[in-house]
Amino acid sequence: MQTRAFLFSEKGRKHMFDKIKADIKSVRERDPAVKSDLEVFFLYPSFKAVRAYRRAHKWYLKKHYFIARWISQRALRKTGIEIHPGATIGKGLFIDHGSGVVIGETTEIGDYCTLYQNVTLGGTGKDTGKRHPTLGNNVMVGSGARVLGPFKVGDNAKIAANAVVLSEVPPNSTAVGVPARIVRRDGQRVNACDLDQIHIPDPVAQQICALQSRLETMQSEIDLLREELKENNIK
């Protein structure tokens, strides 16, 4: 009764509308394709999924697990985004496009994080209790990335597209590859709206390029040696 009274009170309505405004603002700041607030409210699946999660999470905390899962599964069918109602999510979460995103039960997400499509914040199947990752504030997770296990991804970290992260990522770092490696840690704060998923160094690709260059050099040396041997045989 107290909860219902709060929701229908002037303070409760203001609290609800403030959260909605914050979620819409978060989308508009980070998606250049948005034309209006109404577009976000009625058409953006990520906005709908996050709002449904917040309703489901309230039921989950009250241990009404069936109702919580019913709300989350209904949102999954409508949006393609699966957020377990047991997850803990801060303000300003932005899920760009969103199709295929999975957020596990014990996942914790800080404020103003950005997830792209097909991201999985999951477990490895070997842990009990806390099974899913914890994301700090202003974390960006690129398309198709997998973050698996009960470890921390530090504030302002960036995880490149299709990376598979199996261990802790320090703050202000960039993780790339399968399994992911830390390739950048400059100690500077990463802008929460820096959404570039392309211009990130890949250590595996760099090593392949170095080997290819070396092979080309060796091939040139072999060709020169063959020419010399051929000339000597003719003489």
Q: Give 73-118 pLDDT, tens digit per residue.
A: 999 999 999 999 999 998 889 998 888 999 999 999 999 999 999 9
Q: Give 117-158 pLDDT, tens digit per residue.
A: 999 999 887 767 899 999 999 999 999 999 999 999 999 999
Q: How far apart are CA 217 and CA 20, in angstroms?
A: 60
Residue 7 has pLDDT above 50, yes or no: no
CB contact at 8 A, 165 and 152? no
Parallel, antiparallel, or unpaired: how do β-strands 102-103 and 120-122 relate?
parallel
Instruction: Give the residues across from 102 on adjacent strands.
Output: 82, 120
The first and second tokens of residue 53, run together, are: 């999660």
> Which sign does the torsion angle of CA 157, 201, 143, 26 carry?
positive
Q: HSE, CB side, 13 Å, CA atoms: give it for residue 136.
A: 19
Burial 144-160 (b: 16+ CB within 10 A, else e): bbbbbbbebbbbbbbbb
Superfamily for 88-201?
A: Hexapeptide repeat proteins (2.160.10.10)
